[in-house]
Amino acid sequence: MKKLATILGLMSLFYASTSAAQCEVNVDKLQLVYINGMFTSSEAAKQNVNALNRFQDKYLYTFEKASGVEYSYNYSETLLLQIAEVAFHKMTDEQYEAGYGRFLNRLVSGKDVSVLEDAAEMLAWFYSTVIEKVDSLMQEYDYTAAERVVESQVGKCARTVLVTHSQGNFYGNAVYTSVSYSYVYPNQAALSDYPMLGYMGIANPTYSVGGYYGQQVPEIAKTFTNANDLIMLAVRLAYGAVPSDSVYANLLSDPTGHGLEVAYLKNRGAPVIAQRIIDTVNGLTPYPMFEQHRVSSSAISNIGYSEISHMLDVRFKYGGGYRYYDVPGHIGNTFINASSHGTYFNEFIKDQYAYEKIEG
């Protein structure tokens, strides 16, 4: 029995180490996770995922993909459409003539509501009377589902960016804060100590970017809203929200200026969104990368390096693990492949770069 326990223990250590090594090779890959917004059917959400994949291929190609865009669907959005239809059918003739019936009719059918007089005020009315009620019914389920999806992607150890649209920002803010403070990597490093989860809120109707945690890390939590996004204008009029940007979308294909693909990912704001995601990705901090490479050396046991962050992690056989900053790619890669790691370290790294002890 003792032999069996020993074997099982060694196997457990082996698989844990292998898992960590496989995980840590992803530190310079990019993973996008999408949470949908208002009036997005499940089919439309899939189309938005495809649009985000195309957007990533066009604008974010310098980062290797961890995998295709993952997403968490807000089922409350389907319920919103159903409630809107019921509300429309219950409208009286007087309300219809007053404009609200015509507004709901066009909104549910996907037609342009900007042609209606006082459309912004009617959107604000609809938001306050319908959407908040739906949120209270569905938020717990949608939030939990989104949290699970984000955690599963962060667990791959890639640079993960949560991309939210419209109402999805409400879920996104909460999920981003919760996961950032609570998640622990397979090697037991805390995500809050080594933030590898960024935030990009598109058409943001909330008061913050990335919730409470996002306010603490503005360099990796960003937002973008078209100046002429009609729906977000209505939200700001009714409740207030983060300011819009100064970019005006071309409204020929989407008069509301709100649709994720047409008004944002394929419009004038696309390069701005891309640059903010790039800045976010570059601002993320890899957790200890020691398991990337095991080396044969009398003094050094493990090495890890991030090309994006220019960080070099070195674990010594006697003395713990250290992180070296602003190490150029040619130095990091040559060190990993050196015939004598100890000699190369002493000649080209020791006392050359700022460092701190992060293990042991």
- Domain of 63, CATH number, reads 3.40.50
**Domain that includes residue 353, residue range:** 288-359
| Total number of domains in the chain | 2
Helices (H) and strands (E) in the chain, counts: 13, 11
* Residue owning tokens 């809203």: 225
- Within this chain, do residues 173 and 296 fall inside the same structural domain, yes or no? no
Of 17-31, 208-222, 236-250, 330-344, give the lowest mean pLDDT range.
17-31
77 neighbors 138 (Cβ within 8 angstroms) = no
Residues 83-102 pLDDT 10s: 555 555 544 444 545 566 66
- Within this chain, do residues 315 and 278 fall inside the same structural domain, yes or no? no
Which of 251, 283, 315 represents a domain boundary (last residue)? 283
**Rounded-to-integer distance, Cα 252 and Cα 314, Å:** 55
What average pLDDT score do residues 147-174 get? 92
Residue 261 has pLDDT above 70, yes or no: yes
Residue 330 has pLDDT above 80, yes or no: yes
Asked whether residue 1 is domain-assigned, the answer is: no
Mean pLDDT of the chain: 84
Residue 74 has pLDDT above 90, yes or no: no
Asked whether residue 270 is domain-assigned, the answer is: yes
Those residues with Cβ within 8 angstroms of residue 310's Cβ, 6 or more apart along the chain or in another chain: 325, 326, 327, 328, 329, 332
Q: What is the pLDDT of residue 360?
A: 84
Asked whether residue 14 is domain-assigned, the answer is: no
320-324 and 355-359 strand pairing: antiparallel
- B/e letters for 71-105, b = 16+ CB within 10 Å, e = fewer, are bbbbebbbebbebbeebbeebeeebeeeebbbbbb
- Within this chain, do residues 50 and 175 fall inside the same structural domain, yes or no? yes
pLDDT over 90 for what percent of the chain? 59
Q: Name the helix (H) or strand (E) containing 150.
A: helix 132-154
Asked whether residue 13 is domain-assigned, the answer is: no
From residue 268, alpha-carbon distances to 51, 262, 285 in Å are 15, 10, 30
- Within this chain, do residues 206 and 102 fall inside the same structural domain, yes or no? yes
Q: What is the pLDDT of residue 174?
A: 87
Residues 9-58 pLDDT 10s: 443 433 344 445 568 889 999 999 999 986 788 899 999 999 999 999 99
- Within this chain, do residues 279 and 299 fall inside the same structural domain, yes or no? no
Asked whether residue 124 is domain-assigned, the answer is: yes
Which of 283, 316, 346 represents a domain boundary (last residue)? 283
**Rounded-to-integer distance, Cα 105 and Cα 102, Å:** 5
Q: What is the pLDDT of residue 91?
A: 47
Q: What is the pLDDT of residue 17?
A: 44
Q: What is the pLDDT of residue 92?
A: 45
- Within this chain, do residues 293 and 274 fall inside the same structural domain, yes or no? no
- Within this chain, do residues 264 and 296 fall inside the same structural domain, yes or no? no
From residue 189, alpha-carbon distances to 177, 186, 300, 311 in Å are 17, 7, 21, 16
Which of 218, 252, 283 represents a domain boundary (last residue)? 283
- Within this chain, do residues 122 and 231 fall inside the same structural domain, yes or no? yes
Residue 3 has pLDDT above 60, yes or no: no
For 299, how many CA atoms within 13 A lie in the half-sphere containing its CB?
8
What average pLDDT score do residues 70-76 get? 82
- Within this chain, do residues 75 and 165 fall inside the same structural domain, yes or no? yes
- Within this chain, do residues 252 and 314 fall inside the same structural domain, yes or no? no
**Rounded-to-integer distance, Cα 148 and Cα 70, Å:** 12
Residue 304 has pLDDT above 50, yes or no: yes
pLDDT bucket at 183, cuts 50 / 70 / 90: very high
Asked whether residue 347 is domain-assigned, the answer is: yes
Q: Select the more confidently predicted residue: 94 or 157.
A: 157
- Within this chain, do residues 351 and 277 fall inside the same structural domain, yes or no? no
What average pLDDT score do residues 325-348 get? 97
Asked whether residue 6 is domain-assigned, the answer is: no
**Rounded-to-integer distance, Cα 257 and Cα 267, Å:** 10
- Within this chain, do residues 224 and 327 fall inside the same structural domain, yes or no? no
For the beta carbon of residue 4, count every other beta carbon within 10 angstroms.
8
What average pLDDT score do residues 141-166 get? 91
Asked whether residue 127 is domain-assigned, the answer is: yes
